[in-house]
Structure 1
Amino acid sequence: MTALRPERETDASYGQEPYEASGAFEEWYGDAAGQQRGYATPAEEPYAAPVTQEPYEPYLPPIDEETVALRIPDPPPGASISPSGASTATPVSGTPSGGRAARRKAAKRRGGRHGGAHAASESAESGESSDSFGSSGSGAPLSRVEARRQARARKPSPGVIASRAVGEVFITTGVLMLLFVSYQLWWTNVRAHAQADKETSSLQKDWASGKREPGEFQPGQGFAILHIPELDVVVPIAQGVSNKKVLDKGMVGHYSEGKLKTAMPSDKTGNFALAGHRNTHGEPFRYINKLKAGDEIVVETQDDYYVYKMTSMLPVTSPSNTSVINPVPPQSGFTKPGRYITLTTCTPEYTSKYRLIVWGKMVEERPRSKGKPDALVQ
């Protein structure tokens, strides 16, 4: 602070005139005219300290483009409009409080605004199914990248495609097997019965017209009709035991070739041996295991009826046991030559592992001119 001096003198050290009391007073408060040397009087302008740095400005968030223009915001959920035009908000559970930044953060957490696309991409990556025009929690359409990503997610994987292919193969195989079983168990019987009936009718017509003469028959040629009244069986008998030529056509085959050749019914002694299917292809011998001793078996030819009665049965034997068709079969109970009949078929049913054998002994030879035997009349 500058000191007051009693006299006005020149200060050599500063090159200025010394201050006097009145001069100092006038210089501080102004002269008579109210003027000041570069300073304002206290009554006109207060003293202000020099500023050495820029004033502090508070942080403002970035301008939201949606709020540049003046607008009236929508009232929040649950708010009511007062008569004066002011809205009175009713607190809603889950409504975020705070400023605009807090509301934007809450909208992002709900999947709205700019968070909707991110939520949609996360939903597509996690395999969730969503509409291509919306995402979880928002109605905004998906971008092309997100739509392609969702399309790829919906495409089945190679493992799924392979499993589907294997399943289709199994289903196709099962259907084919079912068709094959239906063919074997049903359709072969239908065809065999039709062929057997046709052959039976042909034989009867030929006999009635006298076209056929007794003699040597060709393999596959029908020459007689077998009747088993107990089982309601009427089936033609053909020469040979070929599956293709005889048995698969629903007929019964006569062992007549090579080492398996057996006698004819008209022979005075011998064993008339026959073979037939037990299952499929007409299955004429399916129920011969139900025959009982004394049941009649009739062979009808062009000139005669030959009547046999069932005597014994061999339930199971090997297919290679050809002795069962010998002139005197060792296991039949016959002890001497005679006029016998042997029926052979497969066993168990639907297999060809073993053979079932039925034997019978002739009890009557009746000319056709005398009419049918009692077994066929009853």
Structure 2
Amino acid sequence: MRDHIPVVVQGRGRRARRAGLVGVLWAAAELTVTVGVVVLLLVVHQVWWTNRQAAAAAREQVRSLERDWGRSERDPGSEWLSAGPSASPSAAVSSASADASASAASAAPAPRPSGRAAGAGAAAGAYAVLRIPRLGLVVPVAQGIDKRSVLDKGYAGQYPGTAGPGERGNFALAGHRNTHGEPFRYINRLRAGDELIVDLRGRRYTYVVGKVLGETAERDTGVIAPVPRSVVKPEYGYGEPGAYITLTTCTPEYSSKYRLVVWGTLRP
């Protein structure tokens, strides 16, 4: 009797290994597609949906401010009217900001504290409206540059410690260039002579664009100084006291590496 010798069929082993490898690759491909779809949805939410939400909320805030200003002007006993036309812009800012906050609180939840330093400035509502005719832009202005409670709402935020609208010094503003309403997306298109109009309850201040700094460092604090001049590129800026406006935003687009700066001076 012959001994039975087992025969190993190598082809089947190779096919099994190949099938296992194909299964792993297929699972990896499915995972990659799933992750890609999730990332795409997040991008769509960040770039498109947040823009729609913030822009709509900002437009409503402008309407709310204008309605509130209309009521105040019709009310002869209002605090602002009793202050008279000689009231300072700072006093008008404080009063308008308080009124706007109360008006906004009835329409939307008050922002939660962000936990950032008080110097970052968190505002419950806007107090002024910035209009840039060249860009067709109308955006509310709030005190502070906190992202969650100001900038991410599609507002322009006033740097803490800078001058009020119409005052001597530098009325300095920040705004998103991309996402969250992106109000300052196209300020790179502004040219010398363009108007920057600031409405503050019962008052209008018109600034005229004078200079544009296309790119500077994030920490170039000179651009928002009372007499604005870049400390990174000193050839850009002003050398005499006056009433200035500064618009700042990130550059290049979809990056926060540098800052784009537009300066203007108050029209007499």
Quickly name the TM-score band, shorter chain normalised.
Answer: 0.7 to 0.9
Query: Does 2:257 correspond to 1:353?
Result: yes
What secondary structure is seen at the aligned counterpart in 2 of 1:188? Answer: helix
Identify the match of residue 156 of structure 2 among 252, 260, 268.
252
Query: How does 1:84-95 map onto structure 2 within 5 Å?
Result: none
Measure how far apart 1:333 and its partner are: 3.8
Aligned equivalent of 1:363: 267
Number of equivalenced pairs: 212
Aligned equivalent of 1:179: 41
Aligned equivalent of 1:68: none
Identify the match of residue 163 of structure 1 among 20, 25, 49.
25
- Asked which structure has the greater RCO (Cα within 8 Å, sep 6+), the reply is 2
Runs (4+) off by over 4 Å: 124-127, 153-156
Query: Does 2:164 correspond to 1:264?
Result: yes
Query: How does 1:1-378 map onto structure 2 within 5 Å?
Result: 157-210=19-72, 213=80, 214-216=92-94, 217=97, 219-220=122-123, 221-256=125-160, 261-267=161-167, 269-331=168-230, 332-364=236-268
Measure how far apart 1:126 and its partner are: 6.2
Contact 2:223 2:237 in 1 (8 A): no
Contact 2:166 2:266 in 1 (8 A): no
Q: 1 or 2, which has the higher helix percentage? A: 2
Contact 2:210 2:264 in 1 (8 A): yes
Distance 1:338 1:199 in 2: 30
- TM normalised by structure 1 equals 0.53
The two structures, once aligned, show a CA RMSD in angstroms of 2.2
Deviations, residues 179-201 of structure 1 (Å, cap 9, x unaligned): 11111211111001111011111
Distance 1:312 1:186 in 2: 31
Distance 2:207 2:93 in 1: 22
Letter in 1 for 2:37: V
Distance 1:166 1:348 in 2: 35
Measure how far apart 1:315 and its partner are: 0.7
Letter in 2 for 1:199: Q
Distance 1:352-1:170 versus aligned 2 partners, 3 A rule: same
Distance 1:266 1:330 in 2: 19
Measure how far apart 1:155 and its partner are: 11
Structure 1 residue runs of 5 or longer lacking an equivalent are: 1-123, 128-152, 365-378
Distance 1:230 1:322 in 2: 27
- TM normalised by structure 2 equals 0.74
Structure 2 residue runs of 5 or longer lacking an equivalent are: 1-8, 73-77, 81-91, 99-121, 231-235
Contact 1:295 1:309 in 2 (8 A): yes
Letter in 2 for 1:202: S
Contact 2:195 2:207 in 1 (8 A): yes
Contact 2:212 2:262 in 1 (8 A): yes
Give the number of the structure whose alpha-carbon radius of gyration is greater. 1
Contact 2:93 2:200 in 1 (8 A): no
Distance 1:280-1:215 versus aligned 2 partners, 3 A rule: closer
Contact 1:206 1:212 in 2 (8 A): no
Letter in 2 for 1:346: C
Distance 1:333 1:351 in 2: 24
Measure how far apart 1:335 and its partner are: 2.0
Letter in 1 for 2:195: E
Contact 1:254 1:275 in 2 (8 A): yes
Distance 1:215-1:234 versus aligned 2 partners, 3 A rule: closer
